[in-house]
Amino acid sequence: MKTAVVTGCSGFVGSAVVRELLNHGYRIWAVGHNGNFANLPENPRIRRISCGLEEITTLPEKIPAGEYEAFYHFAWAGSAGPSRGDTALQLHNVQWTIDALHSAKKIGCRRFLGAGSIVEHETVAAAYTQGNRPGLGYIYGSAKLAAHAMCMCAAAEAGIELVWAKITNAYGVGEHSPRLVNTAIRQCLRGESPQFTAGTQNYDFVYIDDVARAFRLIGERGNAFHDYLIGSGSPRPLKEFLLEMRSAIAPELEFHFGSVPFTGIDLPLSAFDCTRTRTDTGFQAETGFAEGCRRTMAWWREMGGA
């Protein structure tokens, strides 16, 4: 039976990947911070291990050495909200990711799957554009970028395969964060007209079930020391996505564009190219944005509204 280790197992992406792996016959060592396993299903193939990021170096004392297909590392402190701009915390995340990689090697994992982000590309553009004044959110992006680069070196030295998967923008059932899709859907549920930037910047969204399947396929088929972008395969200006959302879930509401200033980086459409992911792993997104928004809105209704 295939076996994998998953940190951040109760998070939005981590818990979805656990379910995906279970559905494909894996046995899981689920690593949760301070015993947090709230989003995990009851399944005899899950072994729960309580271990915080600050003690990730002790993981080999808690998980027996053996043969493991992959170590999926999703645990990351301060991935949303003001903590994204906390330099000390984000620097700790970089070291904890390196520590997790070394723990994976000691346990006997064949490969280490890092969870990156499209914000890595945005950070490079933001930091190296003359005269630009990047926002604090790019401190989080800088940490992801540093973790990616350092893991490449550390993995090569340690003799473990590194595969780095970068998510464009995951959304869907199970996410509680105040990110764009969630915020807009909850405003629609309250009958409010959402306010946006002009929406001319290029964007992409990928539904959580597709994200989970992509991680499994990348873990199984991705080439060592390669990075793979996880997206819908159909990037476009943000306004087009939001108008599709409006048509799908709130055609009676007005969506206001241009009332919120845009201070980020507008990446070219080529930055969202998922060709390598599709070619190497066979992944292709299956859930369209309109359908994903309908599912997410229905879930929020079941949760008790906005």
CATH code for position 88: 3.40.50.720
So what's the pLDDT on residue 233? 96
For tokens 């780095």, what's the residue? 164
Report the number of distinct structural domains present in the chain: 1
So what's the pLDDT on residue 35? 85
CB 296 within 8 A of CB 181: yes
Strand partners, 167: 117, 230
Amino acid letter, residue 217:
L
pTM of structure: 0.97
Answer yes or no: is 289 within a domain. no
Of 19, 1, 2, give the one whose Cα is nearest residue 208.
19
Q: Please give the backbone phi and psi of residue 200, each rounded to the nearest 5 degrees, phi first.
A: -85, -15
Answer yes or no: is 132 within a domain. yes
Bridge-based pairing of strands 226-230 and 161-167 is: parallel
So what's the pLDDT on residue 304? 81
Could you give the CA distance from residue 217 to residue 230 in angstroms, rounded to a whole number? 11
Enumerate residue ranges in the chain where pLDDT < 50.
none
The count of other CB atoms within 10 Å of the CB of residue 241 is 23
Q: Please give the backbone phi and psi of residue 202, each rounded to the nearest 5 degrees, phi first.
A: -70, 145
Answer yes or no: is 26 within a domain. yes
| Residue 252, Cβ density class (10 Å: 0-12 exposed, 13-18 middle, ≥19 buried) | exposed
So what's the pLDDT on residue 133? 93
Answer yes or no: is 24 within a domain. yes
The count of other CB atoms within 10 Å of the CB of residue 137 is 19
So what's the pLDDT on residue 36? 87
Full residue range of the structural domain in which residue 27 is found: 3-167
Answer yes or no: is 256 within a domain. no
Answer yes or no: is 288 within a domain. no
C-alpha pair distances (Å), 169 with each of 210, 214, 223: 11, 13, 23
Q: How many CA atoms lie within 13 A of 17 on its CB side?
A: 34
Could you give the CA distance from residue 76 to residue 73 in angstroms, rounded to a whole number? 8
Answer yes or no: is 217 within a domain. no
